[in-house]
Chain A
C-alpha cells in the first residue's frame, strides 16, 4: 500500500470508530470513558485529515484550497476505483 492509501485507510478507520462511538454515546451520553475515547479519536482524525488534505487534496468541500483552481472536481472520486 502506498503512503497516500495508508493515510486514507487510517482516516477511514477513524471515521468508523467515531461513528460507532457516537452510536454508543447516543444511548450512554454520560459515560466518561466513552467521552474521553471519542475525544481522543476525534483529535487523531483531525490530524490525519489535515495531513492528508495538505498532501493530496480535499476530502470535504470545506478543505478545498481556493488559490486559483477548484480542485473539488479532480478525479478520481473514491467510488470510481477500478473503473
Chain B
C-alpha cells in the first residue's frame, strides 16, 4: 500500500532558472532511463526472482526509486 511522509530526502534549492538543466532533470525523472522507468523495472523484475533475498531487495530498491519521484518535484 502507498503512503508518503512530509519529509524530503534532500532539499534542493534552485537559485537560477535554467531550462537546459531542466531538460536533463525531466529526462532523469520520466525519460527512458529515468526514475519512473527504473522503479517500474525493479518492481516488475521482482516477480521473476527465484530467491527471497533478491525479491526483497528489488522490492525495496523499486520503492526507493518511486521515492525519488517525490524529491525531484520539491
Number of A-B contacts (CB under 8 A): 12
A2 within 8 A of B: no
Interface size class of B (residues with CB under 8 A): under 10
Cross-chain contact B1 with A77 (CB below 8 angstroms): no
| Alpha-carbon distance between A15 and B3 when the two chains are bound, in angstroms | 11
A73 adjacent to B55 (CB under 8 Å)? yes
Could you tell me the distance between the alpha carbons of A73 and B54 in the complex, rounded to whole angstroms? 9
Query: Quick one: CB contact mask for B1-39 with A, threshold 8 Å, 1 for yes?
Result: 100000000000000000000000000000000000000
Q: Using a CB–CB distance below 8 Å, which chain A residues touch chain B?
A: 15, 61, 72-75, 77
User: Contact residues of B with A, CB < 8 Å?
Assistant: 1, 52-53, 55-56, 59-60
